[in-house]
Amino acid sequence: MLSPRDLERLYDEHAPTVFAFLLACTRHEADARDVLQEAFVKLARLPGGLDGVRDERAFLLRLANNLAIDLFRRRGTRERHHDLFAAEIANRFAPAADPDVAAFRERLSVVLGELPAEQRAVVHLKLWAGLTFEQIATTLDVSPNTAASRYRYGIDKLRTRLRPLYDELNRADGHSAPTTPKP
């Protein structure tokens, strides 16, 4: 069983990544919070703790993914409308002071929400969690080739939908793309 100190360390190290992934999956902040809490409750109840787990982050992401799938199964058809509306509700990116960056992030959040769930999960894990295709395959329980092809399809769709805005912002700035302002 994990000690309270172990739980705190795991939370501080991995909860932000898990939360971002859950926000990408559920597209709803309240759902992401519920699943995150459920994941840590399960973690706390594990009889052997994380003994034998090589990659804590991958383990937590997989646990969170399974719990998110359970949540969707429990809800079923009745809640699919909620899921559709959630695409408009959840903003996955931090607010930006630069209006161009803010506009790009807002559009990116919307376009990501339009991707099929499996492509969205792979794109998120590759770009923002920094996992390899092998790690993504283990996390989502698919083959590495499937993970890679889903990523490619997802990126192509994002590129097609975001390219006009991306180019427009580049032209307006002269040469700079909408990047995160350096602190």
Q: How far is the CB of 38 from other proteins (least distance, A)?
A: 9
- Binding to other proteins in span 113-172, by CB under 8 A: 127-128, 155, 158-159, 162, 166
Structure tokens at 167: 């180019």
Q: What is the rounded CA–CA span in Å between residue 56 and residue 129?
A: 13
Burial class (CB in 10 A: 0-12, 13-18, 19+), 125: buried
Q: How far is the CB of 83 from other proteins (least distance, A)?
A: 19
DSSP string, 104-154: HHHHHHHHHHHS-HHHHHHHHHHHTS---HHHHHHHHTS-HHHHHHHHHHH
- Pick the stretch among 38-46, 52-60, 113-121, 134-142 that binds other proteins (CB under 8 A): 38-46
Among 28, 40, 100, 120, binds other proteins (CB under 8 A): 40
Cβ(128)–Cβ(180) below 8 Å: no
Q: How far is the CB of 43 from other proteins (least distance, A)?
A: 7
Residue ranges that bind other proteins, judged by CB under 8 A: 1-2, 4, 7-8, 11-12, 15-16, 19-20, 23, 33, 36-37, 40-41, 43-45, 91-94, 96, 104-105, 108, 127-128, 155, 158-159, 162, 166, 177-180
